[in-house]
Amino acid sequence: MNVLSLMKQRCSVRKYEDRPIEREKLLYVLEAARVAPSACNIQPWRFLVVQDRERIRRIAPVWVTEAKASAVIVACGDHRQAWRRRDGKDHCDIDIAIAVDHMTLAASEIGLGTCWICSFDAFAIAVALELADHVEPIVLLPIGYPAESKDANRHVRDRKLLDEIVSWR
């Protein structure tokens, strides 16, 4: 499958089959994060793989537990390591976003579903996972075998047109 087709196949999955993911598949997805580019190649990320149902319940929105995600990957940024531009801008968010996108695509390629989540209680996660002050949870990524699918042509309807988002100068 070419990369654009894979990108169109990936979708946010909010309902999963109640079965675990094989370890080698989880490792495949995590490897996709490992090879992601980052500012100055600093790789200021940590990925915490949470598989315990009770712990998932404590860190993620209620629907994730109800959706029966097999695991939640907590993608964190280490603000002590992150590259800063001369004006002080910390690039953690960008670096972690690229790594997470790699994971969503790798997961989709091997038949797994994911969903980006940024709406969560960062403090509760830091406490539950005993994160250091300089380590910020940036994205939660539930992952599992999807129990729902979306039309790969949906972007015709639910994305802006190129004309609306591109200008040629």
Site of interaction with ligand FMN (CB under 6 A): 11-12, 115-119, 150
Q: Which residue number is nearest to ligand FMN in terms of Cβ?
A: 119
153 or 167: whose CB is closer to ligand FMN? 153
Smaller CB distance to ligand FMN: residue 1 or 27? Answer: 1
Min dist CB 135 to ligand FMN, Å, is 19
**Shortest spacing between CB 26 and ligand FMN, in angstroms:** 21
Q: Shortest gap between Cβ of 3 and ligand FMN (angstroms)?
A: 16
**Pair 69, 144: CB distance under 8 Å:** yes
Measured from the CB of residue 86, what is the shortest distance to ligand FMN in angstroms? 26
Three-point CA angle 159, 151, 19, nearest 5°: 120
Nearer to ligand FMN, 79 or 93 (CB): 93
Burial class (CB in 10 A: 0-12, 13-18, 19+), 18: exposed
Q: Considering beta carbons, is residue 28 or 116 the nearer one to ligand FMN?
A: 116
Instruction: Name the 3-class secondary structure at 75.
Output: strand
Q: For residue 103, what are its two tokens?
A: 């994971």
Tell the smallest beta-carbon distance from residue 25 to ligand FMN (Å): 20
The gap from C-alpha 102 to its chain's centroid, in whole angstroms, comes to 8
Nearer to ligand FMN, 118 or 127 (CB): 118
Cite the DSSP H helix spans in 79-121: 92-109
- Tell me how far apart the alpha carbons of residues 14 and 134 are, in angstroms, rounded to a whole number: 30
